[in-house]
A and B are shown apart, each in its own frame.
Chain A
Amino acid sequence: MSYVELMGFGPNGWGPAMLTAAGVTLAVALCAFLIGGIVGVLGAWAKLSESTPARLCADAYTTVLRGVPDLLVLYLFYFGGSMALSQIAGWFGASGTAAIPAFATGALAVGLVSGAYQTEVFRGAYLALSRGEIEAARSVGMRGWLMFRRIVAPQVARYALPGLGNVWQLVLKESALISVTGLVELLRQSAIGAGSTRQPFAFYATAAALYLAITTASTWGFQRAEAYALRGVQRV
């Protein structure tokens, strides 16, 4: 069977399966990135806060999750999660081991790792905000949420954009690890195809090409977003 026939959309073609799997990769990466975004904002807030325990917790979080392999974190969530769930089910009289959804665990594990990186991105972006902006907002009577919404958030988002682009690329590539838990994303689908057709190179090369297409499109998207965010700023 030729390559075109193999990866095509004909009766024996793997094209639709591979494209669907690429969609799953995109979906799980997007979920993980959003979880990481929420955790990152909270983490940055904790790191910049006056409270020592909050700062220590956030420091421990970013040190551990950035210093430990992502695969290990994934195993912790996958096996630890199903263990905890079985225990909880046991309290309610159910027996046996409970299976937890691979999509949710994967998104959570990769999300928490990306949250550690996003914490640093948001912290750096906040520190790049000039003090004068905040003083000016205070001087016109803005406080708390209003100041955050009108002055802090828009500018932090702009400063954080390049860093977030890097984290997104990282998340996209890390999502391939979720294949070890059995979620049929791009890499897992390639392994399935490779196993049943005995053409592993064709499948993994196609997966690589699809990842490249996604990362290239993302680079372009972030460039556009940056250009939009900087539209009112004069470049020196």
Chain B
Amino acid sequence: MIDPAFLWSTLISLLAGVPLTLKLASGSVALGAVLALPLAALRMSPMAILDWLARAYVFVFRGTPLLVQIFLIYYGLGQFRPALQELGLWTFVREPYWCALAALTLNTAAYSSEVMRGGLLAVPHGQIEAARACGMSGLLLFRRIVFPIALRQALPAYGNEVILMVKATSLASTITLMEVTGIAHKLIAETYRAVEIFICAGAIYLVLNFAVARVIRTLEHQLSPHRRDAPQRRFEPTHV
């Protein structure tokens, strides 16, 4: 029933889409993180209007499907073509790659900013007080104390977000990008062998997500020396 030769050739064809999947995922996660930090800062700002702006952003991007966001950017912005051409932005909006990247970035920024806010709020107040008592303030305090602790606490939730983004890149195939899911769809439409192609494409995504989970876990381990066992010291006879 299942033909190994077909599985192999399918896997080879699908692997050609992996670079694009990785490029979309890593690009959107990196840009999203850059955007998320100021968003989290706005959300925690004492000025109500700034907090409100960030809240509205998060509300809109978490409350609507990613596919709608992609279509809104790729097809929707076409309605304003003359204005965009005047601004010189049309070259970007015309390209499905930039549209997919923009939609994924804006989407993940909303989710990541909430993850980061959670991490920042979870920094124990005593740690900050202790740092202040040592004379740290401002950027130094943030860089040495607040950021590392917040990062460590937010990492598990952030790992989930990264895995969600790897899966979300599949939606780029709906605007003609040929990443793994796009190629899978083309192959299914050509051969109608949905099960075999699903097995291959699914295996690729599982491997990618497994790798992401491992990296996050290693990073978490690195960042929490206090939870590791103390290194075992072997007793060696001293030669006198």
Partners in one complex: yes
A-to-B contact residues, CB < 8 Å: 63-64, 67-73, 75-76, 78-80, 83, 172-177, 179-180, 187, 190-191, 194, 198-205, 207-208, 211-212, 215-216
Question: In the bound complex, do residue B79 and residue A173 qualify as a contact, i.e. CB atoms below 8 Å apart?
Answer: no
Q: Return the contact of B174 from the options A173, A175, A180, A211 (Cβ within 8 A).
A: A180
**Cross-chain contact B205 with A72 (CB below 8 angstroms):** yes
CA distance A175 to B66 in the complex (A): 11
CA distance A47 to B47 in the complex (A): 48
Question: Are B198 and A215 touching (Cβ within 8 A)?
Answer: no
CB distance from B41 to the nearest CB of A (A): 25
Distance of B59 from chain A, by nearest CB (Å):
8
Are A201's CB and B60's CB within 8 A?
Answer: no
Contact of A76 among B163, B167, B174, B194 (CB under 8 A): B194
Q: Is the interface of B mostly helix, strand, loop or mixed?
A: helix
Determine whether the beta carbon of A71 is less than 8 Å from that of B77. no
SS class of chain A's interface: helix, strand, loop or mixed?
helix
Beta-carbon contact of A71 and B195 below 8 Å: no
> CA separation between A198 and B169, bound complex, in Å?
27
With A69-B167, A199-B79, A201-B72 as known contacts, state yes or no: A176 contacts B65, CB within 8 Å: yes
What separation, in Å, do the CA atoms of A63 and B163 have in the docked complex?
A: 12
Identify which of B59, B77, B202, B205 contacts A201 (C-beta below 8 A). B77
Query: In the complex the two chains form, is A194's CB within 8 Å of B75's CB?
Result: yes
Q: In whole angstroms, how far apart are the Cα atoms of A212 and B58 in the complex? A: 12
Chain B residue numbers with a CB within 8 Å of A172 are 65
Query: Which residues of A are found within 8 Å of B16, using beta-carbon distances?
Result: none
In the complex, are the beta carbons of A76 and B75 less than 8 A apart? no
The residues of B that contact A180 with a CB separation of less than 8 Å are 174
For the complex formed, measure the closest distance between the CB of A186 and the CB atoms of chain B, giving whole angstroms: 8
A198 to B192, CA, bound (A): 34
Complex interface: chain B residues within 8 A of A67 (CB)? 163, 167, 202, 205-206, 209-210
B202 adjacent to A64 (CB under 8 Å): yes
Contact partner of A205 (CB less than 8 A), chosen from B67, B76, B171, B188, is: B76
20 additional contacts (CB under 8 A) given A79-B188, A175-B65, A201-B78: A67-B167, A67-B205, A68-B206, A71-B173, A72-B184, A75-B184, A83-B193, A173-B66, A190-B68, A194-B75, A198-B79, A200-B79, A201-B76, A202-B79, A204-B68, A204-B71, A207-B68, A208-B60, A212-B60, A212-B64
In contact, A71 and B171 (Cβ under 8 angstroms): yes
A72-B170, A83-B192, A212-B63 known; A64+B206 contact, CB < 8 A: yes
Q: Are A63 and B206 in contact (CB under 8 A)?
A: yes
Alpha-carbon distance between A123 and B63 when the two chains are bound, in angstroms: 26
Which 5 residue pairs spanning A and B have beta carbons closest together?
A: A69-B170, A80-B194, A176-B65, A201-B76, A79-B194
Complex Cα distance, B68 from A79, in Å, reads 23
Q: Assess the A208–B72 pair: CB atoms within 8 A.
A: yes
Cβ distance A142 to chain B, nearest Cβ, rounded Å: 38
* B178 adjacent to chain A (CB < 8 Å): no
Q: List 27 A-B contacts (CB under 8 A).
A: A63-B206, A64-B202, A67-B202, A67-B205, A68-B201, A69-B171, A72-B181, A79-B192, A175-B65, A177-B65, A177-B67, A179-B67, A180-B174, A198-B79, A199-B79, A200-B79, A201-B72, A201-B76, A201-B77, A201-B79, A204-B71, A205-B72, A205-B76, A207-B68, A211-B68, A212-B60, A216-B63
